[in-house]
Amino acid sequence: MATLLVVTVLLPLLGGLALLLAPKLDHKAARWVALATTLATLAFSLVLVGAFQVGDASAQFAFEGADGHAGLPWVAVGSGPGIRFALGLDGVALSLFALTSLLLVTSVFCSWSSITERAPTYYALLLFLETGLLGLFASLDVVLFYIFFEFTLIPLFFLVGLYGGPERRRASITFFLYTLAGSLLTLLGVIALIVVHYRFSTPQVLTFSIPELTEGLSRITSADWAFTRPLADSFSLSQFLLQPQVFIFLLLFAGFAIKVPLFPFHTWLPLAHVEAPTAGSVLLAGVLLKVGGYGFLRFNLAMTPMGTAVLAPMLVAISVIGIIYGALTALAQTDVKRLVAYSSVSHMGFIALGLFSMTLVSVDGAVLQMINHGLTTGALFACVGVLYERYHTREMDRMGGIWKRLPLFAFFLILASMGSAAVPGLNGFVGEFPILAGSFSRFPRATVVAAIGIILGAYYLFLMLQKVIFGPLREPGGEGHGHGHDDSAGVPPVQWYEIAGLAPLLALIVIIGLYPKPFYDRITPSVESIVARFPAEGAGMSTEPNQTVSAPGEDSPRALLARSAQVTAP
């Protein structure tokens, strides 16, 4: 299985290289190669999902090296285990891993007819991006993680810059520099974590392994590291900020917050989303934003829990501002793609709220919501792509009653929107409800405000549906562009590849909404092992972590809600 994981991560890279190096392929041959590669990757990752041991919190499918550390030695650093090529999946990573390989298939289908020029390069970039993302989620080594993290920038830069809309150059450069700026601070934070671990651990081990760092940092009892004073008890702001956990938290936070993006750092997102090709938007919203959430969970929450705890009120405030701000801005949009982009800001705010509330239930919900958001927003962007290919506009005011022209598409869009608006019975609900329920126990007022965001979310999504789907038929193409005499000739029905791209996402939207237990079963143990290291509420000094190993089988959200009191309450 360990070999299969490596193969799965590297397969798209090989496919991409083959596309680049092969003699001139036309776009038809190229898309079939890309589809075959992504389907094979998806099949492999489904095998991994099947082989995953439910209930085990630790990373699975990892190579056991000869010296007792996971992975193969790569760069020796000092006498320690060094930087290693270590891959493995725990529950959280597995979910995002599978989501990535699924969305890649969708994005190949999204590009099926729209990309005809320089198609081999395009699909190669998509496949490189897939390797970057899969590797990122599967990395058990911080340096490897960071390498994949930065590597995703490069294909996306070219995808947006070469195949995007009219403003693509500005969008790609903005996206590139904005993300890079944050991620270099994250690198500093990561290096600082490694050094802190090296300084304080006994015996001193210079390790780069994520699980070892998480474990080792939580064992450090030195007050320099473990004791973190809340802002209210600090003499000055600088004294508060210079505490190691707070400082490192903020360094790590810089890169991930830009990726997510949290409220003041979101300005690159609408531009990049609107200018990116459809597949780029699907991946950007579906997976790239999750990288930020995943980073929060893996690094900020797991490695600097005290820093998170003392900063939590501010972070929750930012998240809630993002929820409301994103929703209100989405409400003001006339461009469907911009609307969906701003809805991402709002929904990612929910995820951040769930993470920074630091209760088992909310974090659990946030992780599931990451999957949900990937599915629903991916589907929404794919729908927007379907629309744009037919009418070459995304202005809602210029269209209406599409239901009559494309009934199947209307069904897809309505289902995806309802999933996104957290209608009960669909996936958004089972993700957002635990977030709100968990957060309420810690930050009741913020949660109440955030709940308004759900109402606003339903409002702007249904407003969009009302304009686009319902009402009298109005099609942009017919307004004076010549072929008004026969509208239906210019608008082909929904094609098989569009159905193939969207159907799995919509099916999952319904399945997760109706029966989330298998997903929670896989996520919860991993989340639990992170939550177990959180400080008890209000305590300044972290106590010795008590490992609670969850028993499999009783992890429905309701059961978790009941049990969260044991883990998190004082």
Give least dist CB 176 to other proteins, A: 6
Give least dist CB 255 to other proteins, A: 11
**Considering only residues 42, 98, 194, 358, which one is a binding residue for other proteins as defined by CB under 8 A?**
194
Segment contacting other proteins (CB under 8 A): 189-197, 331-339, 398-406, 499-507? Answer: 189-197
> Applying CB under 8 A, does 22 fall inside the site for other proteins?
no
> Applying CB under 8 A, does 181 fall inside the site for other proteins?
yes
> Applying CB under 8 A, does 173 fall inside the site for other proteins?
yes
Q: Which residues, 6+ apart, have CB-to-CB distance to 451 below 8 Å?
A: 436
d(CA 436, CA 12): 38
d(CA 61, CA 135): 13
Give least dist CB 26 to other proteins, A: 17
Tell me, by CB under 8 A, how many residues bind other proteins: 37
* Token pair belonging to 487: 């509208």
Segment contacting other proteins (CB under 8 A): 61-69, 178-186, 375-383, 399-407? Answer: 178-186
Q: Cβ closer to other proteins: 212 or 528?
A: 212
**Considering only residues 146, 163, 240, 265, which one is a binding residue for other proteins as defined by CB under 8 A?**
146
Q: Cβ closer to other proteins: 198 or 462?
A: 198
Give least dist CB 33 to other proteins, A: 18
d(CA 99, CA 97): 5
Cβ atoms of residues 208 and 302 within 8 Å = no
Q: In 473-507, which positions are buried (b, 16+ CB within 10 angstroms) versus exposed (e)?
A: eebbbbeeeeeeeeeeeeeeebeebbeebbebbbe
* Token pair belonging to 237: 């702001």
Residues 338-377 interacting with other proteins (rule: CB under 8 A): none
Segment contacting other proteins (CB under 8 A): 106-114, 183-191, 359-367, 556-564? Answer: 183-191
Segment contacting other proteins (CB under 8 A): 150-158, 294-302, 344-352, 423-431? Answer: 150-158
Q: Cβ closer to other proteins: 1 or 177?
A: 177
> Applying CB under 8 A, does 158 fall inside the site for other proteins?
yes
**Considering only residues 195, 408, 455, 565, which one is a binding residue for other proteins as defined by CB under 8 A?**
195
Q: What are the angstrom distances between the C-alpha of 17 and each of 22, 39, 332?
A: 8, 17, 43
Q: What are the angstrom distances between the C-alpha of 322 and each of 175, 422, 502?
A: 19, 18, 28
Q: Cβ closer to other proteins: 200 or 412?
A: 200
Give least dist CB 150 to other proteins, A: 5
Which residue bears the tokens 């970039």? 125
Q: Cβ closer to other proteins: 20 or 559?
A: 20
- Kindly write out the interface string for residues 201-220 of this chain, putting x where it contacts other proteins by CB under 8 A and - elsewhere: -----x--------------
- Which amino acid, 364? D
d(CA 287, CA 266): 16
**Considering only residues 48, 187, 217, 282, which one is a binding residue for other proteins as defined by CB under 8 A?**
187
Q: Cβ closer to other proteins: 161 or 374?
A: 161
Q: Which residues, 6+ apart, have CB-to-CB distance to 439 below 8 Å?
A: 316, 353, 354, 357, 359, 362, 446, 447, 450
Cβ atoms of residues 71 and 65 within 8 Å = yes
Find residue 60's DSSP bridge partners: 89
> Applying CB under 8 A, does 550 fall inside the site for other proteins?
no
Residues 55-114 interacting with other proteins (rule: CB under 8 A): 74-78
Give least dist CB 197 to other proteins, A: 11
Give least dist CB 561 to other proteins, A: 41
User: 516 φ, ψ to 5°?
Assistant: -80, -5
**Considering only residues 43, 72, 177, 455, which one is a binding residue for other proteins as defined by CB under 8 A?**
177
Burial class (CB in 10 A: 0-12, 13-18, 19+), 546: exposed
> Applying CB under 8 A, does 289 fall inside the site for other proteins?
no
* C-alpha 278: how far from chain center: 17
- Which amino acid, 151? F
> Applying CB under 8 A, does 153 fall inside the site for other proteins?
yes
> Applying CB under 8 A, does 161 fall inside the site for other proteins?
yes
User: 395 φ, ψ to 5°?
Assistant: -75, 120
Write down the number of H helices and E strands in the chain.
26, 2
d(CA 278, CA 385): 5
> Applying CB under 8 A, does 147 fall inside the site for other proteins?
yes
User: 474 φ, ψ to 5°?
Assistant: -135, 125
CA atoms within 13 A on the CB side of 195: 9
Give least dist CB 158 to other proteins, A: 7
* Token pair belonging to 81: 């285990």
Give least dist CB 154 to other proteins, A: 7
> Applying CB under 8 A, does 6 fall inside the site for other proteins?
no
Most distant CA atoms of the chain, gap in Å: 81
Residues 413-432 interacting with other proteins (rule: CB under 8 A): none
Residues 317-336 interacting with other proteins (rule: CB under 8 A): none
Which residue bears the tokens 């405000």? 449
- Which amino acid, 414? I
Q: Report helix, strand or coil for 82.
A: strand
Segment contacting other proteins (CB under 8 A): 94-102, 152-160, 417-425, 507-515? Answer: 152-160
d(CA 375, CA 379): 6
- Residues in contact with other proteins by CB under 8 A are 74-78, 143, 146-151, 153-154, 157-158, 161-162, 168-169, 172-173, 176-177, 180-181, 184-185, 187-188, 191-192, 194-195, 198-199, 206
